[in-house]
Amino acid sequence: MLNSTTARRESGLSAGIARAETLLVFLSGISLAVIMVVVVLDVTMRYAVSRPLGWSYDLIGSYLMVCVFFFALSDTLHHHGHIAIDIFANSFPRRFIHVSLAVGYGLSTVLLAMIAWQAWIRTSGAWNANNLISATVPWPTWPSYFMVLVGAALVTLRCGLRAVTHAASFVTGRELADLPPPPITASNEPEQGL
Amino acid sequence: MTVTIVLLVLAFFLVVGLPVALAMAVSGATGLYMLGGMQFLTGILRTSPLSTANSYEIITIPMFILMAEFVIISGVANDLFRSASIWVGRLRGGLAMATALAGAGFGAISGSSTAAAATLASTSMPAMLREGYDPKLAGGVVAISGTLAMLIPPSIALILYGIIADVSIGDLLIGGVIPGIIVTLAIILTVAVLVRIEPESAPAGRAYTMREKFASLAHVGPMLILLIAVSGSIYSGIATPTEAAGMGAFVAMAIAMWERKLTLAGLWQALRSTAQTSCMILFIILGAHVFGYFLTLSRVTNDLSMWVGGLDMSPTMIMIIILIGYIILGFFMDQVAILILTVPVMLPIVIQLGYDPVWFGVIVVVTAEVGMVTPPMGMNIFVVARYTRRPLGELFRGVMPHVWAHLIVIGLMLAFPALILWLPSTM
């Protein structure tokens, strides 16, 4: 299970982003529950009355799974749920780690912003052209792109905030950045009776 | 030159602790920009993110994770060991053997090795120590039994491999069944050998009547039937892996409600935890997509395949070298990260050598299990040490006989690929 606590108390921009993350991850969780119910309904209808739900694949693939992934993206980053190889990081000087992560998160911010921008172009294009999914039920395509846009935009903000706080930690020498809890390793595990 | 720069960027960001997904995406994007320019990069970033999640088949991952969350909430995981110990506890070392069986049972619930190790550490380890088991023997068997979760269906590692390698997930999950049974038997056999060499390390337990044995199944019975039904429905073709996963999650939720263990807060915690874990895996897949485009564009995979093809070595020898590489990677890296980073490069080589991709997926996961219990990054050992407060050195020494047994099992699978491929071939 992922760690869901952050060591530092939220304030200002981070708290605002966290509120948006909580709302989005709630929708992500609801989507998961809906996926489960739709699959059960689909299988039941297929085998019980030979009438599967014709729209289940498109609803799940085009909307619900996109919601599960993109709406949980920023909350998972906030709670250090995205796996990182942290075994080596503690053996480097703290300021080196901070400047390296500032660069890493900075570049990631640019990349995620590009993804959000591309999603905006696709959302507006699909909205204006009233593009529809080529499936049994012709649902609009823009909600999928819109969810990518919202999720990518929020994680861009979270990532940018990480980059700034790591840069500030590097400059000031103080621990201002939100770092993941220390890994469970031989060095911090209590040894008894060796 | 570009490939070297990109690999150095990737290695640097991985080592300093940037999330694996971001490290792969950033380094892959750097390479794409260097090789194809901004237009090429924006083209990839326009389509890749949505295509990562825009799939029906991928729901197998969150649904199986959700199933495990509900089963854990129902409390059945803790009853598995109690039931297994009643069935085999009479034998010398019976509780250790029961730990392996409970590990296999938990493996059928959860695809997470560390979650299995943590559950076993909190249930079977105190029971073994109370009965006078040697802590080294007890800790070793707990740590190795946790790794069975990676192999026995539903294995998240195998599903992930199936998605990356574009191999049938059903074939992979069923392909893991016989190796899962063999590894379970190897653990039991290793315990039997260890207690024969040192009888004082494990006492014999008390005997139970058949009535008591069947009574012990009352709690775990419905869940075991569900788990067998999940794998059985995939094997028989009644349900696809996605349908089996969705139905499994729903029935597990119903059992948790029936047991009166599912609260609203528990339900929300299960959904949120599942959303976060699924998102973590999907984000790595997204990073791997970007990195994969770079690998394709740079033709590094083709060059590597041609180089390996030109080597004056037998395919078996090359495969042994590849597997040793996986064991070494397992010493330092998370198994999900290993799969994502290596499979896109290694799979074309493996296919060129004449090996089956299903066989390779299963054997890589079995090999990766070794890394979970060996220093310096043996995650299962760390988890068991944290739960049991036993010294790491003792646990690492205790697990070593199982590591040797594991290597023999890997050798068997290398020599007899049918051990993995026979069951999927009968589907």
pLDDT digits (tens, 9 = 90+) for B202-213: 887 777 888 887
Q: Which residue has the higher pLDDT, B226 or B144?
A: B144
- B397 has which bridge partners? none
Per-residue pLDDT at A54: 80
> Quick check: B308 pLDDT over 90?
no
And the tokens for A183?
């890994």
Question: What is the spatial distance between Cα B171 and Cα B358, in angstroms, rounded to a whole number?
Answer: 7
Per-residue pLDDT at B136: 85
Average pLDDT, chain B: 84
| B72-100: average pLDDT | 79
Burial of B364 (0-12, 13-18, 19+ CB in 10 A): buried
DSSP B204: B
Query: Using an 8 Å Cβ cutoff, are A37 and A94 in contact?
Result: no
Residues with Cβ < 8 Å from B254, sequence gap 6 or more?
none
And the tokens for B220?
């775990």
Burial of A135 (0-12, 13-18, 19+ CB in 10 A): middle
Listed residue (B320, B317, B318) closest to B349, CA to CA: B318
Whole-complex ipTM = 0.89
| B120-139: average pLDDT | 82
Per-residue pLDDT at A27: 96
Give the torsion through C-alpha atoms of A133, A137, A138, A140, to 10 deg: -70
- A132 has which bridge partners? A140
If you measure CA to CA, which chain B residue comes closest to A110?
B26
pLDDT in tens, A9-31: 567 888 899 999 999 999 999 99
Q: Which residue has the higher pLDDT, B107 or B53?
A: B53
- Name the pLDDT band for B218 (thresholds 50, 70, 90): confident
Per-residue pLDDT at A34: 96
Using DSSP's 3-state secondary structure scheme, residue A55 falls into coil
Among A71, A85, A189, the residue with its CB nearest the CB of B382 is A189
If you measure CA to CA, which chain A residue comes closest to B385?
A189
Question: What is the spatial distance between Cα A35 and Cα A33, in angstroms, rounded to a whole number?
Answer: 5
Question: What is the spatial distance between Cα B31 and Cα B25, in angstroms, rounded to a whole number?
Answer: 10
- Name the pLDDT band for A8 (thresholds 50, 70, 90): low
Which of residues 150 through 189 in chain A touch B, CB cutoff 8 A? 152, 159, 180, 184-186, 189
Per-residue pLDDT at A1: 37
Question: What is the spatial distance between Cα A173 and Cα B129, in angstroms, rounded to a whole number?
Answer: 47
**Rounded to a whole number, what is the distance in angstroms from the first to the last CA of chain B?**
47
Question: What is the spatial distance between Cα A58 and Cα B366, in angstroms, rounded to a whole number?
Answer: 35
Helix locations, B333-415, DSSP H:
335-352, 357-371, 379-388, 392-415
- Name the pLDDT band for B343 (thresholds 50, 70, 90): confident
- pTM to 2 decimals? 0.82
Listed residue (B349, B350, B402, B413) closest to B175, CA to CA: B413
- Name the pLDDT band for B151 (thresholds 50, 70, 90): confident
How close, in Å, is residue A38 to chain B by CA atoms? 9
Listed residue (A9, A24, A15) closest to A69, CA to CA: A24
Chain B residues with CB under 8 Å of A113 CB are none
Give the length of chain B: 427
Q: Which residue has the higher pLDDT, A179 or A155?
A: A155
Range picked from A148-162, B77-91, B307-321 for highest mean pLDDT:
A148-162
Per-residue pLDDT at B393: 80
Q: How many CA atoms lie within 13 A of B169 on its CB side?
A: 27
Per-residue pLDDT at B124: 80
Question: What is the spatial distance between Cα B407 and Cα B413, in angstroms, rounded to a whole number?
Answer: 10
Q: Is A61 near chain B, with CB under 8 Å?
A: yes
Cross-chain residue pair A1–B273, CB shorter than 8 Å: yes
How close, in Å, is residue B354 to chain A by CA atoms? 33
Give the length of chain A: 194
Chain B residues with CB under 8 Å of A194 CB are 391-394
Amino acid present at B275: A
Q: Which residue has the higher pLDDT, B325 or A39?
A: A39
| B106-126: average pLDDT | 75
Per-residue pLDDT at B306: 74
**Greatest CA separation for chain B:** 73
> Quick check: B160 pLDDT over 70?
yes
Cross-chain residue pair B276–A104, CB shorter than 8 Å: no
Per-residue pLDDT at A194: 29
pLDDT in tens, A72-125: 999 999 998 887 876 677 788 889 999 999 999 999 999 999 999 999 999 999
Listed residue (B266, B403, B391) closest to B327, CA to CA: B403
Question: What is the spatial distance between Cα B327 and Cα A12, in angstroms, rounded to a whole number?
Answer: 46
If you measure CA to CA, which chain A residue comes closest to B136?
A194
Among B17, B333, B383, the residue with its CB nearest the CB of A97 is B17
| B345-363: average pLDDT | 89
Q: Estimate to the nearest angstrom the gap between the alpha carbon of B93 and the chain centroid.
A: 26
Q: How far are the Cα atoms of B175, B303, B359, B378 from residue B320, in angstroms, in the given order?
A: 20, 21, 14, 22
| B315-322: average pLDDT | 88
And the tokens for A86?
């942290």
Per-residue pLDDT at A118: 94
Cross-chain residue pair B271–A30, CB shorter than 8 Å: yes
Listed residue (B287, B281, B285) closest to B28, CA to CA: B287
- Name the pLDDT band for A3 (thresholds 50, 70, 90): very low
> Quick check: A173 pLDDT over 50?
yes
Q: What percent of chain B has pLDDT over 90?
A: 17
DSSP string, B184-245: HHHHHHHHHHHHHH-GGGS-B-----HHHHHHTHHHHHHHHHHHHHHHHHHHHTSS-HHHHH
Query: Using an 8 Å Cβ cutoff, are B83 and B217 in contact?
Result: yes
| B183-188: average pLDDT | 92
Question: What is the spatial distance between Cα A82 and Cα B13, in angstroms, rounded to a whole number?
Answer: 14
Question: What is the spatial distance between Cα B247 and Cα B245, in angstroms, rounded to a whole number?
Answer: 6
Q: What percent of chain B has pLDDT over 70?
A: 97
Q: Which residue has the higher pLDDT, A17 or B300?
A: A17
The structure tokens 């069944």 sit at B177
Which of residues 70 through 89 in chain A touch B, CB cutoff 8 A? 70-73, 75-77, 79, 81-89
And the tokens for B83?
């039931």
If you measure CA to CA, which chain B residue comes closest to A33?
B271
Question: What is the spatial distance between Cα B389 and Cα B375, in angstroms, rounded to a whole number?
Answer: 18
Among B13, B54, B253, the residue with its CB nearest the CB of A61 is B54
Per-residue pLDDT at A189: 42
Cross-chain residue pair A1–B115, CB shorter than 8 Å: yes
